[in-house]
Amino acid sequence: MIATRIEKLTSFIVMDVLEKAREMERLGIDVIHLEVGEPDFDMPDCVLKALCEAVCQGFSRYTHSLGMLELRQAVCDHYRETYSVSLNPERVIITSGTSPAMLLAFSVLLEPDDEVILSDPHYACYPNFISFFNAKPVFVPVSGKDGFQLSPRAVSEKLSPKTRAVLINSPANPTGAVLSREVMEQIAGLGPYILSDEIYHGIEYGKRAHSILEFTDRAFVFNGFSKRYAMTGMRLGYVIAPEEFIRPMQKLQQNFFISANSAVQKAAITAIKDAEKDVKKMVATYDMRRKYMVSRLAEMGFGLTAEPAGAFYVFVNASHICPDSYRLAFEILEKAGVGVTPGIDFGKNGEGFLRFSYANSIKRIRQGLDRIEAFLKHRSSV
């Protein structure tokens, strides 16, 4: 018999789309990937060089369970220089990706029946993390009319004696929304712990994103190297947490993960210290793709009330084409050969929407949108 906490988990639908796309590719069908939130860039040359050197120098053993002190200090230096936040490296735990960082934090924070408030739409995996610990996700709808900003008043109305934390994500997946300073400051003042997913920090267009640590120490920050530095396969992230939670999370790390990859940790030090020029080039390219995709999707009749200000996604209303986003996404995949993500993957309030990723070349984005435009014209004529 399978444990009930596993049976309650939903699938990660974007992976269902990707896996179907891979099946089609094995049959020789050309599929354009606008579904996956993975940078199409290689990791910066300086990071690759540092990784190769680390392997050659024998960095193949366990590190301290919290992570290399030099890397934790580099994280603290980054937050000081970027957000004027002073941190002790003893508050940082280096993890094998940002998802394990979330697992550690939710493990020490949540008891059964606790509540975590989060936006709808939201990153697809958040509710499953919460439900895994027999806690309850409590949703606050957000919409493009408000720039997908999470309303502090709406959050406060959801507070209850069971509220343990408020979960925020800025820049956000799937909407690309960047929370304003005022919104973050007000949410930080509501009382519960704040869980802040900052994995898309550094990928912004215009105003930079704020860290929740600018407004409160009662926060867990999740970040990593996958998105900003195009290091998805290296599986390296970190969590910054209140001091009293570090030792409990460290014990979990020791038992479940031991430590993150040592050679990748060495490469990550170089990423923080030396790869900023590479990051700026990638962001400039994303911005060019963003503008093109936003313009084309609007011309094609998709509903877009708020342009993305960060990350690499455009979230558009397609309910006038088909109210069932899952059905529409697979129809586009099978008939147009383009992978897109159905909005239902991101919550009830995402139904009717599609998420397009511009983490692909402008050539492939153009081809993909051309295919979808032709598909829509054919569909409407049938």
Domains of the chain: 4-42+277-381 (3.90.1150.10), 45-275 (3.40.640.10)
pLDDT in the model for residue 223: 98
Length of the chain: 382
| Distance linking the first and last C-alpha atoms of the chain | 48
126 and 10 Cβ atoms separated by less than 8 Å: no
Burial of 304 from C-beta contacts in 10 A (0-12 / 13-18 / 19+): middle
Q: How far is CA 242 from the centre of its chain?
A: 22
pLDDT digits (tens), the chain, 382 positions: 888 888 878 889 999 999 999 999 999 999 999 999 999 999 999 999 999 999 999 999 999 999 999 999 999 999 999 999 999 999 999 999 999 999 999 999 999 999 999 999 999 999 999 999 999 999 999 998 889 999 999 999 999 999 999 999 999 999 999 999 999 999 999 999 999 999 999 999 988 999 999 999 999 999 999 999 999 999 999 999 999 999 999 999 999 999 999 999 999 999 999 999 999 999 999 999 999 999 999 999 999 988 999 999 999 999 999 999 999 999 999 999 999 999 999 999 999 999 999 999 999 999 999 999 999 998 877 6
- Alpha-carbon distance of 119 to 222, in angstroms, equals 17
Q: How far is CA 355 from CA 78, 81, 118, 294, in A?
A: 31, 33, 19, 12
- Per-residue pLDDT at 238: 98
Q: Strand ranges (DSSP E) for the chain?
A: 32-33, 92-95, 115-120, 136-141, 163-169, 193-197, 219-224, 237-240, 313-317, 338-339, 341-342, 353-357
